[in-house]
């Protein structure tokens, strides 16, 4: 029999650098033991909202003085970087936290991380909660080999931006994940219905790990019809933000077929009669011959 080698239990080393720390997206019990230890060791914590950070620290008896927690949010991140003394911080443990989840993922933090890299200072990950992966893990969708998963952040509010983004992901992604607020869910689904050729499958996850957690699976038209008929129900999607996962695997196939169809149409049209070309294309791509002739060849 082989002998068991017992390793010594070593504590986390106190290494200077920036620690990008994931915090709970709802349930406080999801804060990792390592995150608690490192937050307690940090001489400075950069927080998206200092009030929420203080609540988190108080919940776990993490003692921090007022001057050890500085705000670092979307609109002041650049100014905060300009005011920090990086020569002094090079010998300190600095924590970076957002309101919930992992910093820099549709949250502030990327600029301060980039600054540390530019200065050659170490950056450490303290992983944990991330609503993107949490949502995908409970969707029941299998990400197969050679398939792609795209994260698009918050769905654009402007019509032009929304269409441009959908056009981009429809050509290169099998699955795409967006964040959206409950009040704008119907708007997002309307965009999907108008943009895509076929009804797309959607998975919704709301308020994960919280009291009002809920999920919803179905085709875009089904969910949209329910919303238009009954509105937002109090026991379902009455508050909070949503992780929206859209299955574009079939749409991607259609897009590729359409591009191939256009290629053969342009290549063969100068050399064949329209009636002959319509027959060839309809057989190759499974399209109605009369429809091919009327839509692509008649004019």
Sheet holding 241-247, edge to edge: 149-154, 175-181, 241-247, 201-206, 214-219
* Pair (280, 193) in one structural domain: no
pLDDT for 237-256, tens place per residue? Answer: 556 789 999 999 877 555 54
pLDDT for 57-116, tens place per residue? Answer: 999 999 999 999 999 999 999 999 999 999 999 999 999 999 999 999 888 999 999 999
Residue-level pLDDT at 13: 66
Produce one character per residue of 135-171: b if its CB has 16 or more CB atoms within 10 Å, e if not: bbeebebeeeeeeeebbbeebbeeeeebeebbeebbe
* Pair (72, 142) in one structural domain: no
Look at residue 287 and give its three-state secondary structure.
Answer: coil
* Pair (210, 287) in one structural domain: no
pLDDT for 132-154, tens place per residue? Answer: 999 999 999 999 888 899 999 99
> Count of domains in the chain?
3
pLDDT for 154-199, tens place per residue? Answer: 999 998 899 889 888 887 789 999 999 988 999 999 999 988 878 9
> 8 in a domain, yes or no?
no
> 1 in a domain, yes or no?
no
* Pair (43, 119) in one structural domain: yes
> 9 in a domain, yes or no?
no
User: Among the three residues 102, 129, 156, which one is the final residue of a domain in this structure?
Assistant: 129
Looking up residue 91, the CATH number of its domain turns out to be: 3.40.1010.10
Sheet holding 93-97, edge to edge: 69-71, 44-47, 93-97, 17-21, 123-126
Tell me the residue range of the domain where 37 lies. 17-129
The secondary structure of residue 161, as a DSSP letter, is H
> 4 in a domain, yes or no?
no
* Pair (162, 78) in one structural domain: no
* Pair (244, 136) in one structural domain: yes
What rounded mean pLDDT belongs to the chain?
86
Least confident of 122-131, 207-216, 252-261, 270-279: 252-261
Looking up residue 204, the CATH number of its domain turns out to be: 3.30.950.10
User: Among the three residues 113, 129, 145, which one is the final residue of a domain in this structure?
Assistant: 129
Give mean pLDDT, residues 285-299: 63
Cβ–Cβ under 8 Å, residues 244 and 178 = yes
> 3 in a domain, yes or no?
no
* Pair (77, 98) in one structural domain: yes
Residue 124: closest CA among 13, 47, 50:
13
CA distance 238 to 206: 10
> 140 in a domain, yes or no?
yes
Is the model's pLDDT at 211 over the cut of 60? yes
Look at residue 185 and give its three-state secondary structure.
Answer: helix
* Pair (153, 176) in one structural domain: yes
Give mean pLDDT, residues 199-210: 94
* Pair (106, 207) in one structural domain: no
Residue 170: closest CA among 246, 252, 73:
252
Q: Is 231 left (phi over 0), alpha (psi -120 to 50) or beta?
A: left
Residue-level pLDDT at 239: 67
Rg of the chain over CA atoms, in angstroms?
A: 26
Residue-level pLDDT at 139: 96
Is the model's pLDDT at 287 over the cut of 80? no
Cβ–Cβ under 8 Å, residues 135 and 203 = yes
Q: At what angle do helices 185-195 and 220-230 cross, to 10 degrees?
A: 140
Residue-level pLDDT at 236: 54
pLDDT band at 272 (very low <50, low <70, confident <90, very high): confident
Residue-level pLDDT at 209: 95
* Pair (176, 256) in one structural domain: no
């Amino acid at each position: 029999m082989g002998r068991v080698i017992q390793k010594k239990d070593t504590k986390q080393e106190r290494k200077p650098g920036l620690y990008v720390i994931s915090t709970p997206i709802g349930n406080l019990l999801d804060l990792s033991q390592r995150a608690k230890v490192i937050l307690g060791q940090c001489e400075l914590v950069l927080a998206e909202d200092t009030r929420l950070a203080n609540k988190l620290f108080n919940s776990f008896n993490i003692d921090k003085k007022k001057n050890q927690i500085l705000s670092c949010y979307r609109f002041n991140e650049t100014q905060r970087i300009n005011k920090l003394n990086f020569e002094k911080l090079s010998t300190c443990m600095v924590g970076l936290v957002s309101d919930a989840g992992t910093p820099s993922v549709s949250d502030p933090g990327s600029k301060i991380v980039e600054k540390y890299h530019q200065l050659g200072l170490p950056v450490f990950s303290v992983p944990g909660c991330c609503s993107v992966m949490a949502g995908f893990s409970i969707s029941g969708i299998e990400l197969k080999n050679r398939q792609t998963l795209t994260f698009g952040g918050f769905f654009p509010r402007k019509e032009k931006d929304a269409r441009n983004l959908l056009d981009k992901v429809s050509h290169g992604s099998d699955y795409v994940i967006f964040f959206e607020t409950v009040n704008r869910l119907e708007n997002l689904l309307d965009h999907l219905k108008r943009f895509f050729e076929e009804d797309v499958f959607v998975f919704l996850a709301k308020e994960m790990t919280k009291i009002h957690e809920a999920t919803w699976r179905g085709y875009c038209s089904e969910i949209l019809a329910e919303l238009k008929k009954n509105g937002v129900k109090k026991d379902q999607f009455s508050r909070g933000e949503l992780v929206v996962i859209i299955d574009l695997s079939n749409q991607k196939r259609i897009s590729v077929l359409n591009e191939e169809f256009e290629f053969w149409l342009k290549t063969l049209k100068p050399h064949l009669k329209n009636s002959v070309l319509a027959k060839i294309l309809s057989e190759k791509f499974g399209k109605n011959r009369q429809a091919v002739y009327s839509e692509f060849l008649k004019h």
